[in-house]
Amino acid sequence: MKVFHIVGARPNFMKAAPVIDAIHAFPEAKQSLVHTGQHYDANMSQIFFDQLGMPRPDYNLEVGSGSHARQTAEIMVRFEDVISANTPDLVLVYGDVNSTIATALVASKAGIRVGHVEAGLRSWDRTMPEEINRVLTDQISDYFFTPSEDADENVRREGIGANNIFRVGNVMIDTLVKLLDKAREPKMAGRQERFILVTLHRPSNVDDPATLGQLLATLNRLSKDIQIIFPIHPRTRRRLEEFKLSEVGANVLLTDPFGYLEFLWLQQHAVAVVTDSGGIQEETTYLQIPCLTMRENTERPITAEIGTNILVGKDTVRLGKEIQNVLDGRGKKGTVPALWDGKAGQRIAEILARL
């Protein structure tokens, strides 16, 4: 079997790494890594290949940034050239970014089987571009590798046969488990022992100046009680500059994005994490760190149902109250979902061997 793995954005790297590693146990499988270049900044891309021990891409499409339509179209055109020259038996796509739907669509139309790793996640919010990507990718995939029971139910509800659905667990947790002991403290001037870690990048939070300004004002207020560490996503940095919102309190540390090992250390040692990222909701649940998610919904409801995650939406007043609960020792406790045990990649490799 000739397998193509598709990565393009930061979350894909953590999901693909354990699957690539596990498939090495089956020498009859030939693997190729295709990097679309959706994330091209060194802090968002290259450092992850280094820290995760991933092989260098066999193909780099180098699409760069652009609107959803332009970026998706460019990936499709360039990926079609790749598979025309070297046709795989199976294309494995990961998550819900533009690279996921673009390459799945090209492969499906070319008659190549598609496996979707992290299939079945739903937020039920079609205003999120990622939700469109998730739903459409599942409709054109052949094999569905799901992280949890709710994901199984979602794809079954949408007409997918049970024989092609495989609950394997969470591949992101594989990477976390493997590298937890290697997490390293980032070099930062002025970091205090107790801090809250913040990541924000979704359009709903950063593309509107009033919303972003209110979030920054809230972080400034909170920083009077505890330090805030805020690694800035490139999109968020552009918006801060565009909206002229660069003024923050002395106890708010704005930094460049960290590598995976450094960010993992910060998650481990944070008092709490404030985020709008899907993957961080999962990682904090595994690490048992309180997570406050600045979204009205989540495609990972299990992190809120049994994990440490709380959805606060855009309610900055509630955000302040929940953080005060954490500081008072009343933060949310949770449990780790079934099959989030570091062996999801191995399960996928064994299923592919049978197929």
**Is 201 part of the annotated catalytic residue set?**
yes
- Maximum pairwise Cα distance, the chain: 60
d(CA 33, CA 45): 14
Residue-wise DSSP of 152-221: HHHHHHTT--GGGEEE---HHHHHHHHHGGG------TT--SSEEEEE---HHHHSSHHHHHHHHHHHHH
Q: CA-CA distances (angstroms) from residue 329 to 34, 271, 272, 292?
A: 45, 10, 11, 15
| Paired tokens of 322 | 């929940």
Residue 243 and residue 213 in contact, taking contact as beta carbons nearer than 8 Å: yes
Would strands 90-94 and 30-35 be described as parallel, antiparallel, or unpaired?
A: unpaired
**Residue of 5, 35, 201, 233 marked active site:** 201
Look at the alpha carbons of 203, 40, 241, 67 in this order and tell me if their dihedral is positive or negative. negative
d(CA 61, CA 64): 9
* All residues at 6 or more sequence positions from 113 whose CB lies less than 8 Å from its CB, including other chains: 89, 90, 91, 107, 142, 143
| Paired tokens of 1 | 């079997």
Catalytic residues: 201
